[in-house]
Structure 1
Amino acid sequence: MPLNTIIPISSDGFYHPASESEVISLVKYAYDNNLQIRCRGASHSIARAIYTDPGPGELPVPDKVSEENPPKGPNLNLIFDNLMSLTWIDNEKGIIEVDAGIHLGYDPMDPTGASTLANSLLYQTFLKGWTLSDLGGITHQTVSGFLSTGSAGGTTMYTIEENLLAFRVIDGQGNAEWVEKDSDLFNALGVSLGLLGVIVKVRMQLVPFFNIYGQQITTKTTYEECPIDLFGDGNATKPNYQQYLEKTPYSRMLWWPQKGVDRVVMWQAIRGINPPVFYPAPYEEFADTNLLTQIEQLGASVMFTTLGNNGFLKTWKKLQPSFKAFYNSIKSGILAVLLTVILYIILFPITLFFSIFKGVLWLLFPTIINLLQPLTKDGKAMLFMDYMWRSLPMDNEAGDILMGTEFTELWIPIEKTKEVMNLLKDFFEHDGRKATGTYSTEIYAGKASNFWLSPSYNRDVIRVDVFWYASNEGNPSVKGGFYEQYWELFEKNNIPFRLHWGKFAPSYDYKHWAEYLKSQTPKWDDFLMLRQQRDPKNIFFTDYFKLRFLGEK
């Protein structure tokens, strides 16, 4: 059957199926014609992990996140903006079925415009008194994308895995089936990267809705000033970091290790009661108004882009999307135009000056970070109480362009926490700016998982997210790139780690790193054997994943 009689390709390069039968037809077409087929969610993962390979002679898929355009060529890239429904199976027990394309929350970067707060999973379930057990730092993702890459929030007590009952999946030959919880196939599908088939629906068992109550403080990392013993064994009045991670329901820490800065921003929250009358005080990551928040993020964008690039012309060119994003975020007609033009004029000579005299900007760096992340004074912690869907994802305010953040995420057995913290501390102090870069490092926990390819399979973990500003010059994952020093630091010091599948992984020595990750993943061979059975023509298995799993294309 000709492809255009199944469903036409859209001008954006995607196929937009509106039913399971259309997805099955597209999969069968790929199978019959030896083509690849992949599905895109919110493009929050590395682009090469999302899309098919490009056609012969076409441009390669970029090694970055938030890439909205699929590669050109005959292969099939799908987007599920027409598959976003939520069906209540049992209102009294909180059981639902959702299409794979539904977003957890509102996705401001959705190129189709289909995502809204009203049609999000979290908001629809909130209105009926139900929710998920855990969320990540943002809620832009589609439910299938969040699950398929093994994403998780900062907790050893809860996991979205608790909410999952079954997957509706189409294998590499176009066969559709429901896969129920606690089977081997279910545990293989939980974090399957789209390699075992196309997940089209998920059945979930929700939990009663809860509010969260929390606080955020910013302190120096020293034993005397930090309420946690970050690098030692702790005592009766001050827990060590592992104890803190294990006993705090939800937490995350941003570590700014640069000389003259050296501070941690500690966010923590607990589940609370739902009183009859509730006046929420949401968590605010930036300023307390949208306008000031956007100005603050634009200023940060100018600083990080200037520090991360050589030459004014390159820096200024890379800042243009930030000005556009700032303008779009104001949403106030003529005010947005005037304010953007004014800031454009003001920031032009400032960027020019600091591009030429970058050393001056480095001297000012500690002062600027102190303005952005001031130390908490006694009794002045930021307190918040809010609906879980709004403030548990604490990074939702961060703009995907203005604060474009890419990272590699290492998941390490939680009993290695003290060793990890001291290894990083010594590394930052010894190697200075080369090790710290210009950004923060996020550290938090993860609960053990039953999913075969989850980086927390069978063990609670401490997670180290090494941030990279997206507009920086170069690729941090290549040989000699920024991340090489981290991956090799942990490997050489016998700190076992697994990597988040949607984030940066080594783009060099593929054979070595495939063997290393295999050694850390007990179900590696079982997964690959199952993958071959379910995808005999490799229609889901792109060159990117061949490099990751096999070490070669």
Structure 2
Amino acid sequence: MSSDQSRWRVRRFDEDHFEHPRSEAELVALIQRARAEHAQLRVRGSAHSVAAAVYTDAFDPETGPHQHGAPVINVMLDKYRKLTFFETAGVHYVTVEAGRNLGSDPYGPGHTPGDDEGLVHALAARGLALPVLGGISHQTLSGFLSTGSAGASVQHGFHQAITAIRILDGLGNAHDLTPADPEFAHVGVSLGLLGILSSVTLRLEPEYVIRGWTSVQRAADCEIDLFGDGDATRPSLRAFFETTPYARLLYWPQKGVDRVEIWTATREPKAPGWKPKPYRQFTTAPFLMQWFVRFLYTRVLPRIDLVPGDADAAMAEAWLRDTINEGFADSGLGAPTLTGPMVDPMIDALSEALAEMDDGVDSVKEILVREIIRVVIALSPKHAGKYKRAPFTDTWYEGLPHDNQMDDQLMPILFTELWVPLTRTAEVMRALRDFWSAGGLDATGTFATEIYAAPASPFTLSAAQGTPVLRVDPFVFWREDATPELDYFPAYWELLKAFDARFHWGKTLSAPGSSTGVAHRRDKCGAVAWDAWKAQRAAWDPDGVFMNAYWRAHLGLP
């Protein structure tokens, strides 16, 4: 496992090592016990964040405390999931106990939530909806909120739907807060450090469906002006995000690939007789395709540096065949026949590309990477000079979290995510373009960078506090020896620091003492607001019940 940034093993756990309270009274009792025992107490949601951010110190979710009897209490709220619906002046609301998952969690505790036991399913059964969801929906409501997560929309914000928060502080006292209360801004994104969220009340909307399209296009002739200010024929990327209800891009910036997948949707009322036609990330054999992509990224591409520098086309093709065979053997599987719809096109395209290689312009390594990635992300065809759009329509709760289709076990991904003011979109995109062009594979990596947006947030520690943002999220496939926090992400942190970047708290953070560490975080939050949040934390948790070493370091707390 790669330092404290790994998210891969964080989803594995033994329920017996956790407390499972069923009521607020039991939550208060756990807080009082932690105080009496001078113990740390942390609450696990769906564990979508990095492991060290989730749990107490000296604790492994699979094996328990590092030492028997260690003063640590780790909590799951899987038994604390009640929903209370009510209506006021024709507006519907729901008060949600903090353990309720937004959607289904396939790797959660026990058998809940099942396929129809998430918050979204309860809302849909009543003809109601939330304004937005994130790219996945297996998080608990409290975890989604506490880490400052958001959906892919500028027009629709999750935080704007929150009308009340009930939190239990480090003394066991309950606080009921609304947007009118000064503490509300500090509690909304609190990292589990101000107390245990007990419940959240949300303003609901009538149920809607989404209708949209996807298209994979070359960056050079994309229908969005990715790097400029737009014109009469193409919107700027900023305008695209501001005027499109829901949108995200997956950018593959590698030399010779340079493709972007556009996903965009609007909402409309659910009409009688409406039928879904969902967006599919993997249209054929999803399980097999995800397994194959993982195989390429964990068994083939990491070995790309083993290709001899003077390799010719025949040597490179032989290397690829041998590497695939070795990868299968390492996985405990027999060697493949190297035939079929996935492997053959890659081998054929590679052979053709190598035969046409322009010495001094392309390298064998670049061509190998390019052709392997092109298997993963194929261009949309063109008609009359325009890229085709693949249409879809879906329920709001299935269509908005489109990354639910990616299995955490089959597609283990490590993230960092930087949020910059949306007003700086064009200059940020130009900086990324130049960075990728100059840095080659060291800068682009071999996977994608997600680019999307979020609205302004009212919460102090939100990376979108006070302003809508552009979000830049480079991906790395997890491997046992992967250390992107040391050898890949820092270049992005340094690049985007100049554009007032702030970090998503639930994803990989820079080292506390680095140029983008604690001092940078305080500066971009605003010293007055940052210090006010810290003062609130100290007042509500004077014994440090909720504090662990990870957050003490990353927030510069005593």
TM-superposition CA deviations, 1:371-394 (whole Å, max 9, x none) = 322111135321101101001111
**SS of residue in 2 equivalent to 1:184:** coil
- Label 1:147 to 1:371 Cα distance change in 2 as closer, same or farther (>3 A): same
CA distance in 2: counterparts of 1:451 and 1:241, whole angstroms:
26
Equivalent residue, structure 1, for 2:315: none
Secondary structure of 2:216's counterpart equals strand
Q: Equivalences for 1:181-220 in 2 at 5 Å?
A: 181-220=179-218
Q: Aligned to 1:97, what secondary structure does the other structure show?
A: strand
What residue is the counterpart of 1:417 in the other structure? Answer: 425
Is contact 1:307–1:438 with CA below 8 Å preserved after alignment?
no
| Equivalent in the alignment of 1:539 | 545
Picking from 134, 137, 144, the partner of 2:135 is 137
1:201: Cα distance to partner?
A: 1.2
In the other structure, the counterpart of 2:115 is 117
CA distance in structure 2 between the aligned counterparts of 1:309 and 1:432, rounded to whole angstroms:
16
Answer whether contact 1:38 1:77 (CA < 8 A) is retained: yes
Name 1:486's counterpart in structure 2: 492
- Contact 2:463 2:502 survives alignment (8 Å): yes
In structure 2, C-alpha distance between the alignment counterparts of 1:319 and 1:384, rounded to whole Å: 39
Query: What CA RMSD, in Å, does the superposition of the two structures yield over aligned residues?
Result: 2.6
CA contact (8 A) 1:99 1:201 kept: yes
Residue identity matched to 1:302: F
> In 1, are the aligned partners of 2:301 and 2:369 still within 8 Å (CA)?
no
Give CA-to-partner distance per residue, 1:57-92, whole Å, 9 cap, x none. xxxx6xxxxx76655332000001111221222396
| Residue 263 of structure 1 pairs with residue 278 of structure 2 | no
Is 1:394 the counterpart of 2:402? The answer is yes
1:253 aligns with 2:249: yes
Q: Please give the residue correspondences for 1:252-331 in structure 2 after superposition, counting only pairs within 5 Å.
A: 252-288=248-284, 292-307=285-300, 309=302
Count of residues in Structure 1 that have an aligned counterpart in Structure 2: 495
CA distance in structure 2 between the partners assigned to 1:93 and 1:83 by the alignment: 25
The match for 1:373 is: 377
Distance verdict in 2 for CA 1:430–1:295, change over 3 Å: same
C-alpha contact (below 8 Å) 1:48/1:544 kept by paired residues: yes
Which among 435, 455, 458 is matched to residue 466 of structure 2? 458
Judge conservation of contact 2:193–2:546 (CA < 8 Å) in 1: yes
Distance 1:108 1:362 in 2: 37
Asked if 1 retains the 8 angstrom alpha-carbon contact of 2:226 and 2:426, the reply is: yes
**What is the rounded CA distance, in whole Å, between the counterparts of 1:120 and 1:408 in structure 2?**
27
Task: Tell me if 1:100 matches 2:106.
Answer: no
Counterpart of 2:503 in structure 1 is 499
Which of 514, 517, 527 is equivalent to 2:518?
Answer: 514
3-state SS of paired residue (2:474):
strand
Q: Does 1:345 align with 2:328?
A: no
The secondary structure found in structure 2 opposite 1:216 is strand
Q: Is the 8 A contact 2:373 2:446 kept in 1?
A: no
C-alpha contact 2:512 2:553 (8 A) present in aligned 1: no
Aligned to 2:49: 45
- Which residue, 21, 25, 34 being the options, matches 2:25? 21
TM-fit CA distance, 1:349: 9.4
- Checking the alignment, whether the CA contact within 8 Å between 1:10 and 1:16 is kept in structure 2 is no
Partner residue of 2:74?
77
Partner of 2:552, secondary structure, is: helix
8 Å contact 2:55–2:74 — kept in the other structure? yes
Contact map agreement 2:512 2:554 (CA 8 A) in 1: no
* Secondary structure of the corresponding residue to residue 85 of structure 2: strand
Q: Distance in 2 between matches of 1:299 and 1:507?
A: 34
**After superposition, what is the alpha-carbon deviation per residue over 1:309-353, rounded to whole angstroms, capped at 9, x for unaligned?**
46989x969986xxxxxxxxxxxxxxxxxxxx9xx3245999xxx
CA shift, 1:519, in A, is 0.2
Letter in 1 for 2:489: Y
Structure 1 pair 37/348, CA: closer, same or farther in 2 (3 Å)?
farther
Contact 1:510/1:548 (<8 A) preserved: no
Superposed CA offset, 1:269-310 (max 9, x none): 00112111111101111125xxx0111111101110024646
* Counterpart Cα distance in 1 of 2:95 and 2:62: 27
2-structure distance, mates of 1:123, 1:39: 24
Q: Could you tell me which residue of structure 1 aligns to residue 231 of structure 2? A: 235
Change (3 A) 1:428 1:298: same
More contact order relative to length (CA 8 Å, sep ≥ 6): 2
5+ residue gaps, structure 2, are 1-12, 307-322, 340-345, 347-362
TM-score, normalised with respect to structure 2? 0.84
C-alpha deviation, 1:512, in angstroms: 6.2
Q: What is the distance in 2 between the residues matched to 1:319 and 1:108?
A: 27
Write the distance in 1 (CA, Å) between the matches of 2:448 and 2:369.
13
TM-score, length-scaled by structure 1: 0.85
Tell me the distance in 1 between the aligned counterparts of 2:107 and 2:337. Answer: 27
Match of 2:450 among 438, 442, 450: 442
Matched residue type, 2:76: I
Specify the alignment match of 1:34 in structure 2: 38
- Give the % identical residues: 36
Cα contact 2:511–2:517 (8 A) shared by 1: no
Aligned to 1:527: 533
Mapped partners of 1:348, 1:517: distance in 2? 52
CA contact (8 A) 2:255 2:366 kept: no
- Aligned to 1:125, the other structure's residue is in SS state helix
- The residue type paired with residue 533 of structure 1 is A
Q: Give the equivalent residue in structure 1 for 2:240.
A: 244
CA shift for structure 1 position 113: 2.5
3-state secondary structure, aligned to 2:26 = helix
Cα offset, 1:16, TM superposition = 0.8
